[in-house]
Amino acid sequence: MNIEQLKLQYKSELLNNVVPFWLSHSLDKEYGGYFTCLDAEGKVFDTDKFIWLQARQVWMFATLYNKVEEKKEWLDCAEHGANFLLNHGHNGDFDWYFSVDRQGAPLVDPYNIFSYTFAAMAFSALSLAANNERYGEIAKATFEKVLARKDNPKDRWDKSAGGRSLKNFALPMILCNLSLEMEHLVDPDFLKATIDTCIDEVMEVFYRPELGLVLENVTQDNQLSDTFDGRLLNPGHAIEAMWFIMDLGKRLDRPELIEKAKNIALEMVEYGWDEKYGGIFYFMDRKGAPLQQLEWDQKLWWVHLETLICMLKGYDFTGDERCKSWFEKVHEYSWKHFAGDAGGEWWGYLNRQGEVLHQLKGGKWKGCFHVPRALFQCWQVLEQLEKK
């Protein structure tokens, strides 16, 4: 593996292809915010604005400004989105809608807690970039709302009738990442307690050593549930969480935590890999039962990009050669199928065979986030590796 060449490849793809794609195609100069529904050529095919994707793009450009270079264009782009979010993204009390229309009229209620987590992440990064305390206050207010809803994230939009109550992996997993993003804004003791709880949930509750698997849902008292949701696996989700945990392990100087996360990630990528066509499945069932998710066998961009980050960090932090091999294998698959002939932003959705299934660069669930974040992360880790 030629580390220098790889580093240049990831860096150049980020700075010369992907970031320019979003800068040229996504800004709504008339009404503010970003278009995320962009077709193969970058043309807008729908103008609805999904709050979590708006927030993710704010975070991305603020982070590029904070960590790569203080380019005015990047900060302007982040603030362009932040203004729209402040004016139209919430109900006046930092309850963040799921979506609004092009002009900013609310479309879908603040039912989804991930609109909040990514708003917190966006304003946290932007408070650093713009050196603006008001943004920090918004991030904190939103973070408090997330923590208040932590034990009942679906809030009044919960349709469960009481006969079964499961808890879901996504929120503690996102909080592992969000905590580090909020570090400069939150009381250290409080933050440490939050982080400890989340690490414990992810590593001791949702990871089941007897199965060697990270589950998406367990019962409220931390037991396995032999139900559709209780059998569900999302390998990409688990692998993404493992690099969040490795970052926390680094930050907290806990090498045993890094080692454990790296091993779990290896178990999940081996489990999730499609031996027949290559790529990592989107959803699986831990007992091999048929899935509710009709799209289970598709190959999604973020699954593969998060795996690249995770395997590279695993290799950098622990030297495990299996991480290097998996990085190489997923690198080859991803550049061939997701970057392929895309130009600019990558393709998002492939069928099981690896063919492009949706002719889009962005949509309701895909914005300016996983591709540039992964390119940035991989570039940074490769730079570390180069120095060794």
Q: How far is the CB of 198 from a copy of itself (least distance, A)?
A: 27
> Which one, 108 or 385, has the nearer CB to a copy of itself?
108
> Which one, 204 or 355, has the nearer CB to a copy of itself?
355
Q: How far is the CB of 123 from a copy of itself (least distance, A)?
A: 21
> Which one, 211 or 357, has the nearer CB to a copy of itself?
357
> Which one, 47 or 83, has the nearer CB to a copy of itself?
47
> Which one, 8 or 289, has the nearer CB to a copy of itself?
289
> Which one, 39 or 137, has the nearer CB to a copy of itself?
39
Q: How far is the CB of 161 from a copy of itself (least distance, A)?
A: 4
Q: How far is the CB of 225 from a copy of itself (least distance, A)?
A: 11
Q: Is the dihedral of CA 80, 372, 238, 258 positive or negative?
A: negative
> Which one, 260 or 361, has the nearer CB to a copy of itself?
361
Contact 206, 215 (CB under 8 A): yes
Task: Give the CA diameter of the chain.
Answer: 56
> Which one, 87 or 227, has the nearer CB to a copy of itself?
227
Distance CA 109, CA 96 (A): 8
Distance CA 366, CA 364 (A): 6
Q: How far is the CB of 37 from a copy of itself (least distance, A)?
A: 8
Q: Which amino acid is at 234?
A: N
Contact 306, 236 (CB under 8 A): yes
Distance CA 138, CA 124 (A): 8
Contact 46, 102 (CB under 8 A): no
Q: How far is the CB of 35 from a copy of itself (least distance, A)?
A: 13
Report which secondary-structure segment, H or E, holds 214: strand 213-214
Q: How far is the CB of 227 from a copy of itself (least distance, A)?
A: 7
> Which one, 157 or 190, has the nearer CB to a copy of itself?
157
Long-range CB pairs of 244-250 (<8 Å, 24+ gap) are 244/173, 244/176, 244/177, 244/180, 245/176, 245/199, 245/202, 245/203, 246/310, 246/313, 246/314, 246/317, 247/177, 247/180, 247/313, 248/176, 248/179, 248/180, 248/195, 248/199, 249/317, 250/317
Contact 300, 312 (CB under 8 A): no
Distance CA 339, CA 14 (A): 12
Q: How far is the CB of 104 from a copy of itself (least distance, A)?
A: 9
Q: How far is the CB of 85 from a copy of itself (least distance, A)?
A: 15
Residues in contact with a copy of itself by CB under 8 A are: 37, 39, 45-46, 48, 97-98, 100-101, 105-109, 111, 157, 159-164, 227-228, 287, 289-292, 294-298, 349, 351-352, 357-360, 363-365
**On the CB side of 1, how many CA atoms lie within 13 Å of its CA?**
20
> Which one, 249 or 363, has the nearer CB to a copy of itself?
363
Distance CA 221, CA 167 (A): 9
Q: Residue 36 in 3-state DSSP?
A: coil
Task: List the structure tokens of 176.
Answer: 């592992």
Q: How far is the CB of 182 from a copy of itself (least distance, A)?
A: 27
Task: List the structure tokens of 223.
Answer: 């037991």
